[in-house]
Amino acid sequence: MQILHPFTGSVQQYLEQLADPDQHRPAHCPQCQAKQPLTAHGFYTRTIIDSAFDGSIRVRRYLCQACRRTVSLLPQFALPYLRSSVTVIALFLIARLLQAKTLAAALPPSSPYQRGQFWLRRFRAQAEALCAALAALTKPAPAPDFVHRALTMLESAGWIPSHRFLFAGVREHLLGWPRSLAPDGHRAALVPAPAPA
């Protein structure tokens, strides 16, 4: 499972503090009831595109000795399963949807336009759920539709604080979980229905 790294700062600052496994070691497992600290369990590598960074970063992983499951600490500028950072996607959505720039003008230089279309499609599909979830963070603003309301709420609460709240608090993905991981980012597991009372 992925949880958010309790770290705020740039990609560069994130990379500089990554060497010390004790600094942000989770005190207990988020997946089982074991109360002992997790053991460091290496890293996985993922790519990230941010305004001043385009490359690979390491993501620290811990292992729970009780349930043998791993927990990785994703930095909060990154979204699970998406290569571009929260900020890059936010700047694009604002430029395209609030400032009505063309797709080409809204995208970061040399990005394929399919990437922008993908973000737009996912954001539009997610907008109503975002408005509902973000109402716990910020006041819903009057807007002609859910897309504009969600953008306004994200702008007022801040994109990264909103992502932190959505992901850590209610297990929602800013652009919606991929179908295989919906509704909460976990691989679908069949849970037997409770017996009728």
Q: Before 6, cis peptide (omega within 30)?
A: no
32 belongs to the binding site for Zn ion (CB under 5 A) = yes
Q: Name which of 66 and 181 has its Cβ closer to Zn ion.
A: 66
Binding status of residue 135 toward Zn ion by CB under 5 A? no
- In this complex, which beta carbon is closest to Zn ion, that of residue 67 or of residue 170? 67
Of these, 4, 18, 29, 154, which contacts Zn ion (CB under 5 A)? 29
Binders in 165-194 for Zn ion, by CB under 5 A: none
Edge to edge, what strands does the sheet with 53-63 contain? 2-4, 70-74, 53-63, 39-50
Identify the helix (H) or strand (E) that includes residue 43.
Answer: strand 39-50
Nearer residue to Zn ion within complex by CB, 32 or 168: 32
- Residue 64 and residue 25 in contact, taking contact as beta carbons nearer than 8 Å: no
Q: Which CA distances in Å does 163 have to 9, 25, 78, 79, 192?
A: 15, 21, 9, 8, 31
Output DSSP code: residue 186: S
Using CB under 5 A as the binding rule, the residues of this chain from 35 to 74 that contact Zn ion are: 64, 66-67
Q: Which is nearer to Zn ion, 33 or 99 (CB)?
A: 33
Q: How far is the CB of 189 from Zn ion (least distance, A)?
A: 16
User: Which residues here bind Zn ion, judged by CB under 5 A?
Assistant: 29, 31-32, 34, 64, 66-67
